[in-house]
Amino acid sequence: MRLKRKNTGYLPGHVISLVRGGADYFAMLATVIDNAQHYIHLQVYIFDEDETGQQVAGWLISAAKRGVKVYVLVDGYASQQLSSSFITKLRDAGVYFKFFEPLLRSSNFYFGRRLHHKILVADGIHGLVAGLNISNRYNDIDGTSAWLDWALYIHGQAAFALEHVCMKRLRRRSVKITPLTAWPEPVAMPDAFINCPLRIRENDFLGRKRQVYNSYLEMFKTAQREIIIMSPYFLPGYAFRKRMRLATRRGVKIKLILAGTSDIPISKLAERFVYRWLFKHHIHIYEYQPNVLHGKVAVCDNAWVTLGSYNVNNLSAYASIECNADVSEVKFATHMAHTLS
């Protein structure tokens, strides 16, 4: 079932699937890489040189050796710990590897934008938009559960839009491939949703892109019944708080699912300082306890969803390059809401 809107930038006809972080996500990552025939783009904030990072590097190297063009872009600050031998191994296998560099950086600080989105694209056909980095803590490994996170598998036109997002960050022209006469089948996946309208949303304040930010403001402005937001570092700015307040005054129920245990304790202390204002405006707060929460997703009226790398705070709004996917499909949105409940 589609939610009808005018001029909202949604592309029709996608097959999508919600992918939970951990082993499920990395299995899907491996499947998409293995199915690539022409090219792969992987762009991520953190790429660690641990067991998970070595495994993903092995998949990329195997793809490059069978003739697939592989492009990897990682953030120059968050991934600066990668060794020269690790990078050389990728490059020697034919992988195009590059750091996204801020204006200034050292081992303790950076100044400028950071590449915070998490995207995988294969052939402009298969895509993953996620909140997960490449690191053991996002994987189920050695009996330790991954941090709670989400990804969206995308099969359809929006994957080609993701390819353009990636090429823009690489400052390279799009890879030219033979136009498709028919779309290949999507990869095997559980709980697939078909014929879903979807749009790719970028946030890059210095690049004059505020699409994810505006998706959230749209939720607060148009919601009629309920908004559910999961965010690990929830420090909303003035415009967010104003729209949230106006929504609750219209009778919209807002539920926040926030981290109980945070990987950044000082951020959690700052977040709890906002709780008094949230309670004052009748906003419901739930803290996730089983593990570290890292997922970034929101559902509006069981009708549409935004999911990706965007945190509800000023760092994502003004300093980071982010990417989300918006899905305007009632069955998927209801599934997402039930998953978060």
Residues with a known catalytic role:
116, 118, 123, 294, 296, 301
With residues binned 3-state (H G I as helix, E B as strand, rest as coil), the percentages for the chain, rounded to 5, are 35, 30, 35
Secondary structure letter of residue 243 according to DSSP: H
Which residues are paired to 254 by β-bridges?
227
DSSP three-state, residue 340:
helix
Is residue 296 a contact partner of residue 310, using CB atoms and an 8 Å limit? yes
Is residue 72 a contact partner of residue 90, using CB atoms and an 8 Å limit? yes
Distance of CA 220 to the CA centre of its chain: 21
Sequence-ordered alpha helix ranges (H) in the chain = 23-35, 51-65, 84-92, 157-170, 211-222, 238-249, 265-273, 275-280, 314-318, 330-340
Amino acid at 280: K
Backbone angles phi, psi at 108, to 5 degrees: -115, -10
d(CA 66, CA 203): 34
Which of 231, 243, 36, 224 minimizes the C-alpha distance to 120?
A: 36
Is residue 151 a contact partner of residue 132, using CB atoms and an 8 Å limit? yes
d(CA 276, CA 102): 36
